[in-house]
Structure 1
C-alpha cells in the first residue's frame, strides 16, 4: 500500500487543526522551523506542505511576515432540506453563486431516466460555482424537468437562487430523497472554476429532490473542493 507523503500528512494535520479551531482565519501559523520541529522533518518538507496549502487557498503568505490562515473548511449539511444560501448563513458564512451557463434542450436517455421523463423531453441544466466568503467551494450542475415545469429555464436564467426559481415555477416546497457521495479528482475545467490544482481531491455528490406530490423536480451533481468543505449529515432535515 502506498504511504502518504510526509508533506501531505503535514498539510492534512494543519487542516485538521484549522477545522478544530486551533488556528482561526487570520491567525499566523508557526514558522517553518517550529513546524519542522513539531513534525520531526526538515524545513524543505514543511515548505512543500505550505506551498500546497497556499495553492489550494487555505493559507496565504506575506513577504517577510509569515503564513496566515485564509479560511477553514466550510461545514455543509446534507439532509432532506438542503438550501445552500440558508445553510451557509446559519454557519456564519457569506454565500454566493456564479451562474456559468443555463441551457434548455431535449434530454438524453440517461437524463430522462433520472427525472422520470421520456427521452427527448425538454430538460434545463444550470451550471454554476458556489462560494463561501468569496472562496469557491463547489462546481454544481442541476437538472430540471422543463417538460414538467414549463418556464423553469427562463427563471433559472434570471434567478440566482434555485429555491426562488422553483417557487416561481409552482414548486412551493421540495425535499431531497437521496444523496450519493464518492471521492473524485479535479479535472482541468473543475480546477479552473474552483481555483485548485488539477488532480486536487474533490467530494462528488449526486442528489435527487421531489415536490410534495412526489414528482421529481431536480437532479443535482456537485463537485466540492475536498480541502474546503466538510459534509455533515443533518438527521433532522
Structure 2
C-alpha cells in the first residue's frame, strides 16, 4: 500500500474515534513531522479524506472535520423544514427567486399536466447554522396570483397550511446522484468533487390527492443520507 494511503487510513481511524465535527486536524507540517514524511505525502493523504467526505479544507484555517451525515427520512410528511426540526436541526430559508411562470413543456409532459400551465416558481436555499446544505426549486399549482406574496422564508409547507389551508403529503419520489454544476458549487460552498443528491418529489393535496407541488431538491451528499420509510 502506498505510504500516503497508510497515513490516510490511520488518520481516518483517528477521526472516527478521537475527533468531533468541527475539530481541526493538526497542520500539515506537524503531521509531516509525526509521520516522518514530506508535506506533499501528507497532502495526498488528506486528499483521500476530503474525497471520503470526512474533512474539508478552509483557506487560512486548515482542515476541519465534517459533521456526521444527516439521516433524512423520506416518508409521507413532505415538509423539509419540519423533517429536519424533528431531528433537532434548525433551518434557515433564503429565497433566491419567486415568480409566476409557465411550466416547461417537457416537465408538463412528465407530470401529465396541460401545456402552458401557469405555476408559481420558487427557488430557495436552505442553511443549517449558516452553512448552505440544499437548493430547492418548487413548482406550485393552483395558487392565486398573489399566493406567495406574503412568504418571506421559513417552512413553505407551514405557510401553505396557514395561508391557504393546503396540507401536502409526499407522492412519488425519485433520487439520483450527480456531479454539481459550477453554479451549484458556488451556492452550496462545495467543490466539483462532492456529488449532489437530486430528489424529485410530487407533493399532493392531502384531502383531494391532486398534484399541488413538484419540487427538485439538490442536497450535499457529504451532509445527507436518505432513508426510505415503508408505508405502515
TM-score, normalised by the number of residues in structure 1: 0.74
Q: How far is 1:187 from its partner? A: 0.7
Q: Distance in 2 between matches of 1:117 and 1:101?
A: 23
Match for residue 164 of structure 1?
158
Match for residue 87 of structure 2?
91
CA distances 1:19-54 after superposition (whole Å, capped 9, x unpaired): x675322434466589789x9x97524424536749
Residue of 212, 219, 222 corresponding to 2:217: 222
Q: How far is 1:75 from its partner? A: 2.2
Equivalent pair of 2:21/2:68 in contact (CA under 8 Å) = yes
CA distances 1:97-130 after superposition (whole Å, capped 9, x unpaired): 1110012122232333355432112111111111
Residue 175 to residue 35, structure 1, CA distance change in 2 (3 Å): farther
Specify the SS of the correspondent of 2:185.
helix
| Runs of at least 5 residues in structure 2 that lack an aligned partner in the other structure | none
Residue 43 to residue 236, structure 1, CA distance change in 2 (3 Å): farther
Q: Distance in 2 between matches of 1:203 and 1:36?
A: 35
Match for residue 108 of structure 1?
104
Larger Rg: 2
Q: Distance in 1 between matches of 2:174 and 2:160?
A: 23
| Runs of at least 5 residues in structure 1 that lack an aligned partner in the other structure | 1-5
CA distances 1:128-160 after superposition (whole Å, capped 9, x unpaired): 111122211111111111xx2224643475454
Q: How far is 1:207 from its partner? A: 0.9
Specify the SS of the correspondent of 1:25.
coil
The question of 1:23 aligning with 2:26 is answered: no
Taking only aligned residues, the RMSD between alpha carbons, in angstroms, comes to 3.9
The question of 1:202 aligning with 2:184 is answered: no
Residue 139 to residue 124, structure 1, CA distance change in 2 (3 Å): same
Match for residue 176 of structure 2?
182
Q: Distance in 2 between matches of 1:166 and 1:129?
A: 18
TM-score, normalised by the number of residues in structure 2: 0.76
Residue 45 to residue 180, structure 1, CA distance change in 2 (3 Å): farther
Residue 101 to residue 111, structure 1, CA distance change in 2 (3 Å): same
The question of 1:138 aligning with 2:134 is answered: yes
Equivalent pair of 1:98/1:128 in contact (CA under 8 Å) = yes
Report the number of matched residues: 223
Residue 67 to residue 234, structure 1, CA distance change in 2 (3 Å): same
The question of 1:126 aligning with 2:122 is answered: yes
Match for residue 77 of structure 1?
73
Q: How far is 1:177 from its partner? A: 1.4
